[in-house]
Structure 1
Amino acid sequence: MYNTKPSFIYGFHGIDKDVAFEILNQKTEFKLSSNKYDWLGNGTYFWENNYPRAKQYAIEDSKRKDSKIKEPFVLGALIDLGNCLDLLDQQYLDFIKMAFNDLKDTLVIEGKELPKNSGFGKNDFDFKKRELDCAVIRWAHELAKNEGVFFDTVRAAFWEGEELYPNAGFKSQNHIQIAVLNPNCIKGIFLPRDKVEFPTS
């Protein structure tokens, strides 16, 4: 009854500049990520209302050995959340917990182990390799489909990075992320602008 979200949000996607202009010129589409460690399962990932974090990510990614980002860039998108599996909403948190228990019981019957969340390296304390979370989200989608429900997007908050100050509850890279499964929810794509000073006199 109360779970309707604002229709549209701004999403920002860190990407290679050449690929960004191919998308803008409708020569290609956003890629759907399907890694088994993706935090929110399959989807095209956007930083909600957070251009600086998307830019920061693109720069960080470009420094990795096998990165596809040669020139860091950011595309903006106008996104309709549609039917959103929103992990900032209690009913969906309860659903994900139920999905986890169902997945665990199923794997026990099949004699298989649950995937685990872990870091990519010794100094990764944020568990960015989220194989358990990805498996649970994917399982939740399957459970929903069995009931005739299809989610267009997934939305969640992440506490990431170093503490802003000693014993802080806030971290340097906190953000909200959106995974878009239904490409029709991307209503428009744009080049983000730098702020223009508005004349006051």
Structure 2
Amino acid sequence: MATSELLYSSDPGLIIGFHGCDQDIRDRIVMHQTMLKSSRNKWDWLGDGMYFWQNNYERAFYFAKSPPPNVKIKTPAVLGAVFSLGNCLDLSDQRFIDLVKLSYDSLKQSATSEGTKLPVNKNSVGDESSADKVVRALDCAVIKNVHKITAQTKQPAFDTVRGIFIEGSTLYDGAGFNDKTHVQICIRNPNCIKGFFIPRKQVSWS
């Protein structure tokens, strides 16, 4: 059976994700007064879409407390969401890892033939020594090109993109674990979102 015929390329259930933002925006989204906007920066790690940390409230709140320079947050807060992945470009799935590599090769070939340079992943200003290269213009371009190839070949559009990121410092000498490792999901199709909520604390019960 060809891999394109398989039905197991994404999680079939519902997923909880968290998005760091200003409290006013969170409250208005939960009250259906506005909708979460898609991020469209040229350096977004997974391309255009609405970003969530999968099952990771702490990272979302950290982002809200320490946002990048282009994001203004007055009162840090976390927006919760329940969503499905739909047709997911899952970067933990070998077939989609191969597709992303194909996308890069395509971009590189085009740049060579046109005499242009590909964008690059780089560190933010003032953090040049980091190994994480958080300004990921190359990765963003490669993911966007995947969607372009998908459209050109008349394949179903991807509703979401999911990536596992090994980020930060190692937990201890010789470790294979890093202190900022996380799963990030970019939702392109807003219909994947089933609902928003304000995260609540656990209460004691008997």
TM-score of the superposed pair, with normalisation by structure 1:
0.93
Within 1, Cα distance between the matches of 2:205 and 2:128?
47
The alignment partner of 2:37 has SS state of: coil
1:117 aligns with 2:121: yes
Task: Encode CA deviations 1:19-57: one digit per residue, 9 max, x unaligned.
Answer: 111111112111111111100011110000111111111
Within 1, Cα distance between the matches of 2:46 and 2:105?
18
Correspondence 1:173-184 to 2 at 5 A: 173-184=180-191
User: What residue in structure 2 maps to residue 74 of structure 1?
Assistant: 78
Matching residue within 23, 27, 43 for 1:21: 27
User: What residue in structure 1 maps to residue 199 of structure 2?
Assistant: 192
The alignment partner of 1:56 has SS state of: helix
Within 1, Cα distance between the matches of 2:142 and 2:69?
29
Within 2, Cα distance between the matches of 1:80 and 1:154?
11
Count of aligned pairs: 197
Correspondence 1:1-80 to 2 at 5 A: 1=6, 2-61=8-67, 67-80=71-84
User: What residue in structure 1 maps to residue 3 of structure 2?
Assistant: none
Within 2, Cα distance between the matches of 1:4 and 1:174?
20
Q: CA deviation at 1:142?
A: 0.2
Unaligned segments of structure 2, at least 5 residues: 1-5
1:140 aligns with 2:162: no
User: What residue in structure 2 maps to residue 154 of structure 1?
Assistant: 161
Within 1, Cα distance between the matches of 2:138 and 2:71?
24
Matching residue within 58, 76, 84 for 2:88: 84
Q: Are the counterparts in 1 of residues 20 and 76 from structure 2 also a CA contact under 8 Å?
A: yes
The alignment partner of 1:20 has SS state of: helix
Q: Are the counterparts in 2 of residues 7 and 82 from structure 1 also a CA contact under 8 Å?
A: no
Unaligned segments of structure 1, at least 5 residues: none
Task: Encode CA deviations 1:50-94: one digit per residue, 9 max, x unaligned.
Answer: 111111111111xx5553111110011001101000001000000
User: What residue in structure 1 maps to residue 178 of structure 2?
Assistant: 171
For the aligned residues, what is the CA RMSD?
1.3
Within 2, Cα distance between the matches of 1:80 and 1:26?
19
